[in-house]
Homo-oligomer: A and B are copies of this chain.
Amino acid sequence: MTKTSNVSETRLLLSRNLRKYREAAKISQEELADISGLHRTYVSSVERGERNISIDNIERLANALNLKPSILLESDR
């Protein structure tokens, strides 16, 4: 089911950042889903890098976490 081989570098960045900032905000995937108006299973699959998420949904997640959208694509290296 999981396909890490084919995942773009940018999806991996988003995946890592989403988890990092969600955990820093001390909220679950379900809570993030509620706040952002997205489905729980969708948020879960985005966090695993499985979805080719759109810019509008990146914005929703960023808003839910009180972050600028660009932060979610940033590399820490």
Chain A residues with CB under 8 Å of chain B are 8-11, 13-14, 52-56, 58-59, 62, 68-71, 73-75
Contacts and interface: CB of A to CB of B under 8 A. Distances in A.
Nearest to A68: B75
Given A69-B13, A70-B73, A70-B74, A52 B56 contact: yes
B59 A8 contact: yes
B56 A55 contact: no
22 contacts: A8-B55, A8-B59, A10-B56, A10-B59, A10-B62, A10-B69, A11-B55, A13-B69, A13-B70, A14-B55, A52-B54, A53-B54, A54-B54, A54-B55, A55-B55, A55-B73, A68-B73, A68-B75, A69-B73, A70-B70, A70-B74, A70-B75
